Structure 1
Amino acid sequence: MKKKNVVSIEDRIPKLKQARKKKANRRLIFYLSIFFILISIIVYLQSPLSHIKQIEVKGNAFLKEDEVIALSELSTRTNIWAIDRTGIGETIKKNPVVDQVEVVRKLPWTVEIHLKEHDLIGYIEQKGVYHPVLENGEKLTTINASVVGDAPLMSNFNDAGFLTKMAKELQQLPDSILHLISEVSWQPTEKNKYKIILYMNDGYTVNGTIRGFSEKMKAYPSIVSQLNPQEKGIIHIGVGSYFEKTNESNKEEAEQDDS
């Protein structure tokens, strides 16, 4: 029969004390690490290390970068963790040029402002200078532009309300049709305040109205495809659509008489 090894309590006490000491040391190191991490975070947040060092603006075509940054109220003294991205976006969107905004935090020190501006829909002439017109009817009078054929000229729109209505109608047109329009002229009469005359790049003139214009104008390619390319005249897109062949002498008269 084998004799069992018996360990006395006196022999176990030193090992228990050593184990407890190691456990206490590990706990102390853990708490000290948490303490120093918290202190480091506080020091970081209160120091220039957490300040924005670079602000980038992307997607802007009409607004200058400095204008967007000024609207955001961000600076190199702003804590990158303290920025209200939603609030900044809402503030920038108050500018009528801006359609959508996204503010992105890029660690460690960069903030990016992504813009989607309202689309260019036309140009308007004022005192010999052309200014862009956006899809919401906003005239960018601080920008002098060159008409390059990417959008029609909008003439005689001296009423902001009708300009806005026309811009919204143009915005709903397919690009393939919009790019066919050279000029849109507002020609209100006593009977029809919404009357417009369009001069097309393919040589036709369109007599129409702002009301429901985008829907009626979608039929333009189909109408033109049925006409003799050698015959130019006025395409009427009012209650019904029809073509009126004219020559240069009576063309202006026909445009003025139709309401």
Structure 2
Amino acid sequence: MLSRFSIYLIGQIGEPGGKDMEKGKIISIEERIPKLKKLRKRKTNRRLIFIISLFFLILLAVGYFQSPLSKVASIEVKGNQLTPAAEIIAHSGIEKGENIWKAGARQAEKNLERDPKIQQADVSVTFPNRVKISVKEQQKLAYLSKGKKLFPVLNNGTILKEAVGSTPEQLPILYNFKAGAELDQLMDSLEQLPSEIVNSISEIYYAPKKTDSRHIQLFMNDGFEVSATLKTFPEKMVYYPAIISQLDPNVKGVIDLEVGSYFKAYNSGKEKEPVDEPIPQP
């Protein structure tokens, strides 16, 4: 009986055609056993490290969710000018002290976008316990006069409930308008016009006529008056700078944009009838 077994792997590599074949290398499995043991130990250690790491991660997660760090500590609001931050936070439905991961960012965005003053909302959670709310508000385009009070009007036709004592922005003041189709159409028109034209309008009156239920009358900051209809107002008013460039700035009057484009100069003295003067189309 042999004292030990020796097992050999003998491989031969040869070429066809009856050429001499080279003797294969002889490798003892006894020599490979230490390498196999090291490889197995290395895999075992890696598995053990993974299990221990996973265990500690679970402990950390459990500890985090049980600690105050998982509760909403601060709510930051950005992009708001029309709506106070406290009101935005209240509308979002997120409260301080609730679980940060149950705050419901997507639902909060939907809640905020139901507000007619807010065009778009983005709510994000920042580790460990901060919430950021970014809003894009509707654009304020005019002020509506009601008695002695002025109320901001947004581009979507929304009239804000909070009156202002003055007009910090150079925006048109609206008269005789109320919430409805005419106001919505006017706001849509103002939104289409360049800001420099909108800012050049001092006052806009809703002045319907028998022949035009959507007739409006504008008074400009440069002293001219404009007669127009909401049906074609944005298409024609966009040429206002080109029209007044053809007029004598010292001769004021009415620029009629209802049908074509005409200028009616105010007469001097006691005469009240305007004089018609055609203006070439730009």
Answer with 70-79 or 115-124: which moved more.
70-79
Q: Which has the higher contact order (CA 8 A, sep 6+)?
A: 1
Conserved? CA contact 1:51–1:79, under 8 Å: yes
Of the three residues 139, 142, 148, the one matched with 1:122 is: 142
In structure 1, the residue corresponding to 2:108 is in which secondary structure?
A: helix
RMSD: 2.8
- Alignment of 1:110 with 2:140, yes or no, is no
Residue by residue over 1:9-35, the C-alpha shift from the partner in whole angstroms, topping out at 9 and shown as x without a partner, is 99x999988986776455334312212
Structure 1: segments with no counterpart, 5+ residues: 1-5, 255-259
Conserved? CA contact 1:169–1:212, under 8 Å: no
State the match for 2:206 in structure 1.
Answer: 186
State the match for 1:135 in structure 2.
Answer: 155
Q: 1:115 Cα deviation (Å)?
A: 1.1
Aligned length in residues: 247
Answer with 165-174 or 198-207: which moved more.
165-174
Conserved? CA contact 2:93–2:111, under 8 Å: no
In structure 2, the residue corresponding to 1:235 is in which secondary structure?
A: strand
Structure 2 CA distance for aligned equivalents of residues 237 and 19 of structure 1: 90
Of the three residues 252, 271, 282, the one matched with 1:232 is: 252
State the match for 1:166 in structure 2.
Answer: 186
Structure 2 CA distance for aligned equivalents of residues 15 and 179 of structure 1: 84
State the match for 2:62 in structure 1.
Answer: 42
Conserved? CA contact 1:183–1:198, under 8 Å: yes
Which structure has the bigger radius of gyration?
A: 2
Amino acid at match of 1:51: K
Amino acid at match of 2:160: L
Greater helix fraction, Structure 1 or Structure 2: 1
Answer with 40-49 or 85-94: which moved more.
40-49
Question: Structure 1 residues 197, 40: CA separation in 2 closer, same or farther (over 3 Å shift)?
Answer: same
Structure 2 CA distance for aligned equivalents of residues 43 and 52 of structure 1: 16
State the match for 1:90 in structure 2.
Answer: 110
Answer with 73-82 or 184-193: which moved more.
73-82
TM-score, normalised with respect to structure 1? 0.84
Q: 1:208 Cα deviation (Å)?
A: 0.3
Residue by residue over 1:142-166, the C-alpha shift from the partner in whole angstroms, topping out at 9 and shown as x without a partner, is 2424123521101110353211111
State the match for 1:53 in structure 2.
Answer: 73
State the match for 2:174 in structure 1.
Answer: 154
Of the three residues 209, 215, 229, the one matched with 2:235 is: 215
Residue by residue over 1:37-86, the C-alpha shift from the partner in whole angstroms, topping out at 9 and shown as x without a partner, is 12321331343211221111111111000100001111122332334333
TM-score, normalised with respect to structure 2? 0.78
Q: 1:250 Cα deviation (Å)?
A: 6.4
Structure 2 CA distance for aligned equivalents of residues 116 and 79 of structure 1: 26
Structure 2 CA distance for aligned equivalents of residues 94 and 15 of structure 1: 68
